[in-house]
Amino acid sequence: MKDSKKILIVSSEFPPQPGGIGNHAYNLSKKLTEQGKEVVVYTNNRSKESIAEEMSFDTRQIFKTIRINRSKLGFLTYFKRILYFFRTFQREKPDKIVASGRFSLWLVGLTIFFHKKEILGIVHGSEVNLKNKFHRSFTNKALKKFDKIIAVSAYTKKLISNINKEVTIIPNGIEIKDFKFTYKRKNSKELQLITVGALSQRKGQHNVINALPSLKKQYPDISYHIVGIPSDRDRLLAQAKKLGVEKQIAIYGVVSQKRLIQLLEDSDIFVMLSEESSDGEIEGFGIAILEANALGIPAIGSINSGIESSILNYKSGLLIDPKDANQLLEAVKMIKQDHNLYAQEARIWALEHDWHYIINKYIKLIES
């Protein structure tokens, strides 16, 4: 067994900007470093406006981060990422390379002729469910070049069954120490729901809003809190107004970690009724669900998605058809009737996904 001392992690996203792929890559980098590996992260900056914030973030980390500045023209950004990837490889001389995110899979998988190192690909979901046939073909060709492939959920694994390669499932993890379990007894007559994630078709906030009129009949004192990049804010507000539930929703945008935890603790149930978007984006797992669980907040999520791996059905929460308002109402009733037990089970489930355990699965695969 070869001890891989230096690992190059190539990620399409990276903090401090929000995003599940970036969150995962950051924790993987940090935990591998804590386990004695030398980690170099290769990524890009989100925008010119974010450069200073990202530089400040990078200087506080225990691993090295190399970021490529974006160009005004998209194709120039891709060219720079390819060019500097080769330079980074030559300079850093990693033992192994880990790729996460669509372009990162392309970049590492389709240039194997150049670096000839063992490569590991992490598949989250949307990158292998694209409607664009050209992009999907690129991704499939790239994945076939990888020595080892990790899927973050059973659902994601099924999406790449056509490549005929062995795929290991390693679920996403959370830093459990960041989420202190201080259960607050909930008022049985009130109902506070929350969704955390970019406002989009994929995250499914619109499905919750569609169900609010039915929920309001059962729970007149209902509120729905929406936290995340507010890109779809206007459409959701218009939808709520049309249904007469605009007073029941609150849209916060991106908030601090302290404020997020406060909003979660004040909520009864975390809801993520995700669906596949028009361009093929899907929910590959659902880290935000586990973070809510860690605080003792049960979750309701979509069947036929990666969320099936992030909710332990009838324990940490319930899985339903995201389009069925009656199913959502019944799920809410069930959790509200036994909220304390669901809260305890949610915390136990979250503990099983602590990065303390998840990183061992990665090390075992990397070193095998």
Please compute, for residue 208, the number of CA atoms within 13 A of its CA located in the half-sphere on the CB side: 35
Task: Check the CA dihedral 260-324-169-108 and report its sign.
Answer: negative
CB neighbour list of residue 73: distance below 8 Å, 6 or more residues apart: none
Does residue 66 sit in helix, strand or coil?
strand
pLDDT given for residue 78 in this prediction: 83
263 closest CA partner among 254, 273, 276: 254
Q: How far apart are CA 17 and CA 336, in angstroms?
A: 34
The torsion angle over the Cα atoms of residues 309, 315, 316 and 319, rounded to 10 degrees, is: 60
Each of the 368 residues of the chain gets a pLDDT tens digit; together they read: 356 689 999 999 999 988 889 999 999 999 999 999 999 999 988 777 788 999 999 999 999 999 998 777 777 888 888 999 999 999 999 999 999 999 999 999 999 888 888 999 999 988 888 788 888 888 999 999 999 999 999 999 999 998 889 999 999 999 999 998 877 766 778 899 999 999 999 999 999 999 999 999 999 999 999 999 999 999 999 999 999 999 999 999 999 999 999 999 999 999 999 998 888 888 889 999 999 999 999 999 999 999 999 999 999 999 999 999 999 999 999 999 999 999 999 999 999 999 999 999 999 999 98
Exposed (0-12), middle (13-18) or buried (19+): which is 363, by Cβ within 10 Å? middle
pLDDT given for residue 1 in this prediction: 39
Tokens of 139: 């991704």
Q: Evaluate whether 61 touches 9 at the Cβ level (below 8 Å).
A: no
Tokens of 38: 């030398």
The model's pTM is 0.90
Q: How far apart are CA 251 and CA 211, in angstroms?
A: 17
The boundaries of every CATH 3.40.50.2000 domain in the chain are 6-173+355-367, 177-351
For domain 177-351, give the CATH superfamily: Glycogen Phosphorylase B; (3.40.50.2000)
Q: How far apart are CA 102 and CA 127, in angstroms?
A: 5
Please give the sequence-ordered ranges of beta strands (E in DSSP) within the chain, or none if there are none.
6-11, 38-44, 64-68, 96-100, 118-123, 148-151, 167-169, 190-196, 221-227, 249-253, 269-272, 299-302, 317-320
CATH number belonging to domain 6-173+355-367:
3.40.50.2000
Does residue 112 sit in helix, strand or coil?
helix
Structure-token match 């218009």, residue found? 238
